[in-house]
Structure 1
């Protein structure tokens, strides 16, 4: 009888360990799960005044991150340096793609592997094609170095941004990290070992906070997290709020354990997040389609899917 009891206890412990390994991140109980697969989780929590936040936890050991862009009209210099530092703002143009078209094409390619899609890079204007605000490296290729007037160069549109320290989110098949971006050298995007990276504002440097006095809006904030007790952050956490300040959004990530830098990506009226099981959670909401016929089209998305080749 005692042997049977010991076997049962051992089986129960093994079962619990297996579940813990499958779900590498478990948020507080205030977050209600919307979709959980082996390697990723999508959660929702209620904020003050009836507002909401969506949390994505992506385990890079089990998930693949795709940067989705259209055909670039002309390639950049391939050096990763911020264009305006050297007086050259001729960064390449990227076609604006309707969010629903991107969603349908991604699902056609990867079927049941697809976990979610969101908008990401800041862009400069609502036209058929647009320049991206900050540098981008996709599958080992530098495709733009950024062109925002609110970037690190002597002629920046506001004095605060002349010496701004932009941050790079870098990831591979196992880990992610956030580090300083050097506009004069292009580091770390120029490192051969860096295959995918995007540059953006630290949340506290976003113009909406510095110039707009941190008014409540839609935002994505992004951080990295280590949950397996081995060196390197294997999780990317993305929190998407439908109406709150950047300070409040970043504090939510801090409470989830994020200790390093926190980035923002493109938000506001462009905010988009979708999941095959829940459908569209937030979609671009153009203020005036008559004035901006491309306002619900975006140039750069992130797609998250399970690793592997089967649909």
Structure 2
């Protein structure tokens, strides 16, 4: 059964986010010969067409309204709703990011359809699309299917492999959306950099807890993260203690991450933190307390002082990377 899918592409700083390509992967799994249409919002959107085409999109709606250069709920809601009305897709997929979590429920409510959020896997089973998503803070997973109406889902970053086997010849369709009666207008953006690499899309994360003892204690963690091309994260305890900014917080009330490698240094493993990183591919725990709960979910555990272990790991990685 062929399905026409609309994918909402998300950009940041003039370039597409990796999760946009992961959403296209989800679309390709379920389209079954149907048309995959991507929509990109903002003045730079026509420039994304080639990349979106290379990852599976047949058509790209480029909505170039200047009101869409910076995200506001009102403008994006109006623009995306109009595109959906124009395309009339069988399914709408978008990233499960801060923007997606704000926008998707509003669009779904306006369309009068259900929303399956935070999807980590998509498959077609006996002709029916089945979505897998975590529940109970990642302790279990549930599978859901839409039996009637438009499918609407948000895809969690860093869970689906990027499939760059598209045609690279996506048709660009300029689209002007009517954005009226905007209640919010962004005059200026003052952005505080959370880190060199986006936490939610990082393949490697080196995270620190109260055990880092100070803001300066994050320096060796940052050195290791930079060496591995990763990002630095933190537990809520470290943020509450003032060791780092809350933009680095990983956990139930922070960011949810699923890197290939997660190194937890000086983190005890409270439930709140584990909820945000337990689905990481490989977890390495470093803690002086051999009874720390973090060891219960770790693939590898190192009992020791992080200020001794992290520099040793950094030196060993330097040797490995130099030899490659």
Task: Identify, as 1 or 2, the structure richer in strand.
Answer: 1
Q: Which bin holds the TM-score, normalised by the shorter protein?
A: under 0.3
Task: Identify, as 1 or 2, the structure richer in helix.
Answer: 2
Higher relative CO (Cα under 8 Å, sequence separation at least 6) belongs to 1
Tell me the TM-score normalized by structure 2: 0.22
Tell me the TM-score normalized by structure 1: 0.23
